[in-house]
Structure 1
């Protein structure tokens, strides 16, 4: 699947290849990224720009990018005489390693007095829109919630089950979190209130997952029917709880998890905290499924529930655990979405269950149970996110995107069936 992901990335890199502008924010950001890799740590940089609107955007983008890489920046803007005076004043106490200039300053004669300092100008270059740093970070941001929900869905599908309630549980979690914060301080809510709200919402979703597991194991109701019912119940609770409205009186600090990030000091790349959380959950889930007895029991039940029972596996308890974990992770997704959007609404997560199932199936988990890998699910989620992002970049309308997603699910299931038939013939 990694090869498929790389081929899709290569395709979108080719079809979105175009000349990137040398002016404005894109020009400033691209030039700063090129220079940052060449400069020693802590090197002083001057950013020079004229008075045009594009110059302001250039200077702001270049300054922000270089500051995040740890370089001291001095920004000089204005007409040539004014910039010359600023340069002369700054050179006496703060000599730069390089001067970055906007495209409009290329013909300025004032730089003849500073020829001993290298200057760099933005140059138009061919580069795919798909591979822009901002777009790649956008893909990472977009994938987080779906990928986290897909961990729980993988556990359930490996046991030959399905959980259609994850989207509604996400909405319920977001509403519960926002409601609790709104009732306990709103914009002035304390950190303790926010943590309690998040944990409470996750607990509610975990209990809903527990209920699904008990219905499946205790009453032998098909998982499809149980989770369809829970999906409708959770959605109804979310709508009633919020009075069919968005709850948005939340403190600015609540967006820390969904919007903030940490900047790597050497390369200047900003990694969102929610991406770090997602990676941590995947590493933990991979270790759980490959190195624990409970993880092996999940695979055993998917291979043959009766054989697992005869081998001493507590089938009912393991299934209840899988559905409970799926509910808890849906709760985590709801808290993240509420943090991203600084609100909670009952409409969040609509049709997410379909995208999550697609990610799991594309990642190699069999709908027949018994087979699947956590990292395969991660790759599947990436494939879905990359395809959706690429379709947006190439202007494919929303309706056509639905066709593509449906075709992906069908192809993935068809390939799984063909693989099973091939293995049965060889066996």
Structure 2
């Protein structure tokens, strides 16, 4: 082994090991957390509580300029956040015996009139968002300074003017990537791809591939929404209609997957060719059913699966977790799972052992169709509509998730939970690049390189590249 090979061996073995991709996911999260750090401001009740503490400490540190008898006016923009800020700050200052002589919540004109009507004010407390609004200029006067003394706990949130002083909550640094909204977006956005990747993992473990999953997303979505439209639409369709429509969409895709499985197993058509043909056929059928239009006559509560929350967790993510749990049990604890691995490792040896590769492949492609159908229902629910152009290029993202998750394109190796990690790696990379405002062309280059590196790592780890012809 060359010196370079010895150097690279351990990192490659670690990354391709059981916990390697999880470590990569963690490192990516850390990287994008660092790259997306921005100055943020507290809002609502949290901002009011923090500013209460700052004003109390300010009085304790500089009792000459800010005695406990200071007259405080509280101002905030309209909306619930502003109301919560004024309410919490007012109660906090009252509890400390600090004199609040006026409050105003609303637009700048209303705040200006309220301040004018109040009389002499020593300190105006407002939100970080309103701190630089010109409404306060006339009350601060011509000469003003931002107090930056290191001993001041409020730092640069204190603007001292000729007539009064303006104070706002302290800002802080926090990664946009780690905000609850963004993390929830990542899980919701990856749910469809992750669900599809369950079936794709099983197909690839058998040394096959399915390029038709993106088209099956569109087919399932169109079938479900067209049934809802015909059985009452937005006005009359209820839960039973949703269930029937969803089952129909999944069933159609399951049968489509089974048909592909027959083509591959019974007629020995290469999976790439068979699924490439089905990709075109199913996409065309989806457009036909939808009449080249978007079907949107569905009730708002159809979004429950795609956009609804249960205990703060997106329902589509809960479905994804359930499916991955079942798939993990099936692949590791059942006879079918063992047969899938056996066929991928050596189909001929499996046949001689009494396993039917044709039957197993048919089942696997049918499962892949079913998961694609479920993904289509989730997407239709998220977008509250169905169209023939749904799921375009999704097959590439799904294959990328499976490969990055450690499943070998040559069959026989792979784990469902590894695929889930791979799906999150793809989602984190995509989300991180969006937050960094990188263009779509850059994202395509990066994702392509990620797939290539994942395959290269797998080949280097296995050592099979040495057996290539001409090597």
Distance (Å, rounded) in 2 between the aligned partners of 1:346 and 1:311? 44
1:85-118 superposed Cα distances (whole Å, 9 cap, x missing partner)? xxxxxxxxxxxxxxx98458999xxxxxxxxxxx
Match of 2:214 among 163, 167, 172: 167
Total equivalences in the alignment: 364
1:163-217 superposed Cα distances (whole Å, 9 cap, x missing partner)? 0000000000000011010111001212111110000010000000000000001
Report the CA distance shift for 1:412/1:101 in structure 2 as closer, same or farther (over 3 A): same
Q: Are the aligned partners of 1:289 and 1:295 in contact in 2 as well (CA < 8 Å)?
A: yes
Larger radius of gyration: 2
Q: Are the aligned partners of 1:50 and 1:56 in contact in 2 as well (CA < 8 Å)?
A: no
Partner of 1:248: 296
The offset of 1:415, in angstroms, is: 1.1
Match of 2:287 among 239, 255, 260: 239
Q: Are the aligned partners of 2:221 and 2:376 in contact in 1 as well (CA < 8 Å)?
A: yes
Partner of 1:212: 260
Find the residue that maps to 1:221 and give its secondary structure.
Answer: coil
- After TM superposition, the score normalised by the length of structure 2 is 0.72
Distance (Å, rounded) in 1 between the aligned partners of 2:400 and 2:298? 33
Partner of 1:313: 355
Report the CA distance shift for 1:181/1:424 in structure 2 as closer, same or farther (over 3 A): same
Q: How does 1:177-188 map to 2 (within 5 A)?
A: 177-187=224-234, 188=236
Distance (Å, rounded) in 1 between the aligned partners of 2:462 and 2:48? 52
Q: Are the aligned partners of 2:177 and 2:435 in contact in 1 as well (CA < 8 Å)?
A: yes
Q: CA RMSD in A?
A: 3.1
Q: Are the aligned partners of 1:50 and 1:104 in contact in 2 as well (CA < 8 Å)?
A: no
Q: Are the aligned partners of 1:49 and 1:59 in contact in 2 as well (CA < 8 Å)?
A: no
Partner of 1:365: 407
Report the CA distance shift for 1:406/1:104 in structure 2 as closer, same or farther (over 3 A): closer
Match of 2:416 among 371, 374, 381: 374
Q: Are the aligned partners of 1:149 and 1:166 in contact in 2 as well (CA < 8 Å)?
A: yes
Distance (Å, rounded) in 1 between the aligned partners of 2:187 and 2:22? 16
Q: Are the aligned partners of 1:19 and 1:124 in contact in 2 as well (CA < 8 Å)?
A: yes
- After TM superposition, the score normalised by the length of structure 1 is 0.79
Q: Are the aligned partners of 1:49 and 1:56 in contact in 2 as well (CA < 8 Å)?
A: no
Distance (Å, rounded) in 2 between the aligned partners of 1:32 and 1:279? 38
1:154 aligned onto 2:177:
no
Distance (Å, rounded) in 1 between the aligned partners of 2:374 and 2:48? 36
Find the residue that maps to 1:336 and give its secondary structure.
Answer: helix
Return 5+ residue gaps in structure 1 as ranges: 36-47, 64-75, 84-99, 108-120, 264-269
Q: Are the aligned partners of 1:364 and 1:373 in contact in 2 as well (CA < 8 Å)?
A: yes
Q: Are the aligned partners of 1:49 and 1:105 in contact in 2 as well (CA < 8 Å)?
A: no
Return 5+ residue gaps in structure 2 as ranges: 1-20, 52-72, 87-103, 115-124, 137-167
Partner of 1:95: none
1:113-171 superposed Cα distances (whole Å, 9 cap, x missing partner)? xxxxxxxx743110011111111111011110000000000000000000000000000
The offset of 1:312, in angstroms, is: 1.1
